[in-house]
Amino acid sequence: MTEQDTLLQALHHPDTAAKAFEDVVRTHQQALYWHIRKMVYIHDDTDDILQNTFIKAWKGIKAFKGEANISTWLYRIATNETINFLNQKKQRAQIFGNDYTTELFTQLIADPYFDGDEAQKKLQKAILTLPEKQRLIFNMKYFSDMTYEEISDILSTSTGALKASYHHATKKIEEILKNSML
């Protein structure tokens, strides 16, 4: 029996589920938090999305039979929650005729929990020019050092497509950073 099987057994048993789930939260909270935070920037928004992620995971735990790694499964939920949040934000910004990436960057600069220097601000501004999925891939590879196989499992995209996407993203960002020095 694998470690995941033992964990799933504990999660599926009414007497041990709550305690086992608290351990799951403790183990995965940081990785998921940073995964979300790099997309939505603001701590409070990240906190809301992370809570929703774990509540959805708890509700769906009975249906989860261990087809994937529990970490991959949680990353998928967190990613979906993040994309939904960003889509809502985009729609709200469009109603007021604003560009949501500009809004995100303004909020990032004003966030008391952002402590990046000038170079990091420029990098974040450049990352925001990428399409959403490319931004996700770039963050997972560049900041989190995830392998293409791990990213592929989470995003259900082939490793070939991921490599191409990451390559285009780095080229674009390098170009923007180079031009920002002129």
The nearer residue to other proteins, 44 or 149, going by C-beta atoms, is 44
Which residue in 162, 111, 172 sits closest to 140, CA to CA? 162
Position 175 contacts other proteins (CB under 8 A): no
> Which are the contacts of 173, defined by CB distance < 8 A and separation ≥ 6?
123, 126, 127, 130, 138
Minimum distance, C-beta of residue 154 to other proteins, in the bound complex (Å)? 19
What is the CA 98 to chain-centroid distance, rounded?
Answer: 24
3 state DSSP class of 176: helix
Among 37, 49, 78, 125, binds other proteins (CB under 8 A): 37
Q: Angle, nearest 10°, between helix axes 3-12 and 70-95?
A: 70
Angle at 171 between CA 37 and CA 127, to 5 degrees: 20
Two tokens at 129? 């020019």
Minimum distance, C-beta of residue 37 to other proteins, in the bound complex (Å)? 6
Among 3, 26, 67, 156, binds other proteins (CB under 8 A): 26
Give me the amino acid identity at 50.
L
Position 33 contacts other proteins (CB under 8 A): yes
Among 6, 9, 16, 30, binds other proteins (CB under 8 A): 30
Among 63, 110, 181, 182, binds other proteins (CB under 8 A): 181
Position 11 contacts other proteins (CB under 8 A): no
Among 63, 95, 110, 178, binds other proteins (CB under 8 A): 178
Binding window for other proteins (CB under 8 A); candidates: 98-106, 147-155, 159-167, 173-181: 173-181
Q: How far is CA 172 from CA 51, 108, 128, in A?
A: 33, 21, 11
Position 50 contacts other proteins (CB under 8 A): yes
Q: How far apart are the first and last CA of the chain?
A: 59
Contact residues toward other proteins (CB under 8 A) are 18, 21-22, 25-26, 29-30, 33-34, 37-38, 41, 43, 47, 50-51, 54-55, 58, 113-124, 142-143, 170, 173-174, 177-178, 180-181
